[in-house]
C-alpha cells in the first residue's frame, strides 16, 4: 500500500526502479491516494503544482508526484508516445502497490492521464483534469500548424542555449523571465518561471516534448475517438480556465471548450466546471478550486 511506501520516503524524493531505470518519486501525507500528473515534459517533483495545491492535499491525502522517465531526476530515455507514458504511470502505480487512486492532471499531463484511464481503468477512484490540453489537433491546417510547432520548438532551444550560457542570471534575463510568466503573474508564478529558464535541462526536455505535440494529439484523438471508448465510472471533473488569451482566435477557443466537454462526456456523470478568474495557470491562480474538486472526488459528491 502507498502508506507503507510513504514511511520509507520521509517526505523527500526517492528513486524507484522501474523497467531498468530509476524514476524520481515523492510521497507525502496520509489518507486516500492522489497522484499528480504534471504539465509539460512531466517534471512533477519539486513544486510543479505551485506552493498551495500539494501542501493542502497532503493534509488530507497521500500525494504522489514523480518525474516521467528521462525527465528531471528520472533516468532513462524519454518516452516518445503518450501511450508509453501512460503505461509508465501504470507500472509506477503497480510498483508502489497503490490502491485505486485519484489522478489529477494539468495541461499536457492530461493527455497521459486520459490514455491511462482508458487503458488501466481499474487503477482509478477519480479523475480531475486541470485545464487539459485538447485531445485532438487544433483547427489550424496541419501544413500550417506543424511549421509553427517547429518554430516554437526552435525558439525554446535558443532559450535553452541562452540559459546554458547564463543569460537568465543577468538583469535582462530576469526581466525576460518575468515577462514570460505573464502580465498578471503572481510572485509564485514568476519564481517558478525564473527557475525554469535558469535550468537548461528543463527547457530542452520541454522542447523535446513539444516537438512531438502534433503526433501526440493525433495519437490521443485516435485512442479516445472510438465509439466504445469511455472512462471508468468514477467521479470525473474537468476544470476549465475562465480567462483565455485576448489574442486567442475564436475557432481555437471553441476547440478548447469542445474538447473539455468531450473529455468529461467520456465518464458517466463527468462534468466541466470553470475557474472563472484563472488563466491556464489554474494551480497557481485558483488552487482552492483544484483542491476542492479533488476532495469532492474522495467523497464522491459535489
Which domain CATH number covers 133?
3.40.50.1820
Terminal C-alpha separation, the chain: 27
C-alpha span between 16 and 26 (Å, rounded): 10
pLDDT of the chain along its 302 residues, tens only?
Answer: 455 555 566 678 899 998 899 999 999 998 999 999 999 999 999 889 988 999 999 999 999 999 999 999 999 999 999 999 999 999 999 999 888 999 999 999 999 999 999 999 999 999 999 999 999 999 989 999 999 999 999 999 999 999 999 999 999 999 999 999 888 788 888 998 999 999 999 999 999 999 999 999 999 999 999 889 999 999 999 999 999 988 899 999 999 999 999 999 999 999 999 999 999 999 999 999 999 999 999 987 66
Give me the number of domains the chain comprises.
Answer: 2
Sign of the alpha-carbon torsion through 227, 87, 236, 263: negative
- Kindly state whether residues 292 and 247 are assigned to the same domain: yes
- H or E element, residue 239: strand 236-241
- Kindly state whether residues 180 and 259 are assigned to the same domain: no
C-alpha span between 252 and 130 (Å, rounded): 18
- Kindly state whether residues 168 and 294 are assigned to the same domain: no
- Kindly state whether residues 104 and 228 are assigned to the same domain: yes
- Kindly state whether residues 133 and 147 are assigned to the same domain: no
CB-side neighbour CA atoms (13 Å) of 249: 6
- Kindly state whether residues 200 and 230 are assigned to the same domain: no
- Kindly state whether residues 200 and 251 are assigned to the same domain: no
Domain that holds residue 119: 2-139+219-299
Contact 40, 212 (CB under 8 A): no
- 214 Cα distance to chain centroid: 17
Amino acid at each position: 500500500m502507498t502508506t507503507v511506501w510513504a514511511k520509507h520516503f520521509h517526505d523527500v524524493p526517492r528513486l524507484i526502479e522501474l523497467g531498468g531505470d530509476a524514476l524520481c518519486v515523492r510521497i507525502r501525507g496520509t489518507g486516500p491516494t492522489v497522484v499528480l500528473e504534471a504539465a509539460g515534459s512531466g517534471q512533477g517533483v519539486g513544486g510543479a503544482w505551485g506552493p498551495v495545491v500539494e501542501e493542502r492535499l497532503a493534509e488530507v491525502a497521500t500525494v504522489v508526484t514523480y518525474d516521467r522517465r528521462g525527465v528531471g531526476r528520472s533516468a532513462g530515455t524519454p518516452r516518445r508516445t503518450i501511450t508509453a507514458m501512460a503505461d509508465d504511470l501504470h507500472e509506477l502505480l503497480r510498483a508502489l502497490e497503490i490502491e485505486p487512486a485519484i489522478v489529477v492532471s494539468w495541461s499536457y499531463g492530461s493527455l497521459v492521464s486520459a490514455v491511462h484511464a482508458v487503458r488501466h481503468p481499474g487503477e482509478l477512484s477519480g479523475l480531475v483534469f486541470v485545464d487539459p490540453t485538447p485531445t485532438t489537433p487544433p483547427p489550424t491546417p496541419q501544413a500550417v500548424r506543424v511549421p509553427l510547432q517547429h518554430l516554437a520548438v526552435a525558439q525554446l532551444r535558443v532559450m535553452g542555449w541562452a540559459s546554458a550560457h547564463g543569460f537568465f542570471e543577468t538583469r535582462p534575463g530576469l526581466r525576460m523571465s518575468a515577462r514570460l510568466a505573464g502580465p498578471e503573474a503572481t510572485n509564485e508564478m514568476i519564481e517558478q518561471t525564473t527557475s525554469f529558464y535558469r535550468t537548461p535541462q528543463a527547457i530542452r526536455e520541454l522542447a523535446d516534448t513539444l516537438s512531438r505535440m502534433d503526433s501526440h494529439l493525433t495519437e490521443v484523438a485516435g485512442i479516445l475517438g472510438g465509439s466504445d471508448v469511455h472512462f471508468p465510472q468514477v467521479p470525473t471533473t474537468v476544470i476549465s480556465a475562465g480567462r483565455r488569451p485576448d489574442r486567442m482566435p475564436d475557432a481555437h477557443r471553441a476547440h478548447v471548450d469542445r474538447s473539455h466537454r468531450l473529455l468529461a462526456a467520456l465518464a458517466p456523470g463527468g462534468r466541466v466546471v470553470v475557474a472563472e478568474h484563472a488563466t491556464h495557470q489554474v494551480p497557481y491562480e485558483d488552487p482552492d478550486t483544484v483542491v476542492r474538486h479533488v476532495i469532492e472526488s474522495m467523497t464522491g459528491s459535489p
